[in-house]
Amino acid sequence: MKQAKVLNDIEIRKLLKVCELTRYKERNRLVVMLSFLSGMRAVEIANLRVSNVISDTNEVLDLIVLNKEQTKGNKRQTVVVSKQLKKEIMRFIAKFPNILKNKNGFLLKTQKGNFNSQTIQNLFRQLFELANIQQASSHSGRRTFITKLSENGVAVAVIQKLARHSSLATTQRYIEVSDDKLINAVNGINV
């Protein structure tokens, strides 16, 4: 099975620029950032509730705790929120403060109502098409997140926890290794 494309920094910037040109630019940007900055799956993004990300005191939480109905595999999962992702969520909430009135409501909505996994996948497909990025899918953000963690020297066991994989072998399949990375690796060894 062909894996989703891992995006480079130029492609990510291009994708974010495309979001700015869309009708729901703030929402679309947050969908992209949730995927690329936390490795969230389409189903998890679609099922996010305001209460998953915002505390009772209206602060962005450090951890997003998803119940089993919100995840793949029917298991409760915890997503770590980076400083950059916190800023993205705060930016979105600042633009749409009425979201805070219903903490049990969905964080992200479509024009017709609530997202589901398929509508998130369709949104990514449209954004990648507009950005002219080939072979990318809703899973590209997740693969990019995991690959970047590896490139930054994060231990595979830590990446496994952040990716919420039960198997280390699954995590390793997500990490892309290019020829450039191999060359850089061997060039880092001096005798």
Distances (CA, A) of 124 to 63, 94, 107, 139, 141: 24, 24, 17, 9, 10
Q: What is the pLDDT of residues 142-168, one digit of tens each?
A: 999 999 998 888 888 998 999 888 888
| Cα angle, residue 15 at apex, residues 85 and 128 outer, rounded to 5° | 120
- The mean predicted confidence, pLDDT, of the chain is 91
Distances (CA, A) of 96 to 74, 93, 100, 119, 161: 31, 5, 8, 21, 32
* Region 33-37 average pLDDT: 97
Residue entry with tokens 């915002």:
54
Instruction: Return the pLDDT at 1.
Output: 53
Q: What is the pLDDT of residues 3-13, one digit of tens each?
A: 889 999 999 99
Range from 13-17, 90-94, 163-167 carrying the lowest mean pLDDT: 163-167
- Residue 77: Cβ-neighbour burial (10 angstroms; 0-12, 13-18, 19+): middle
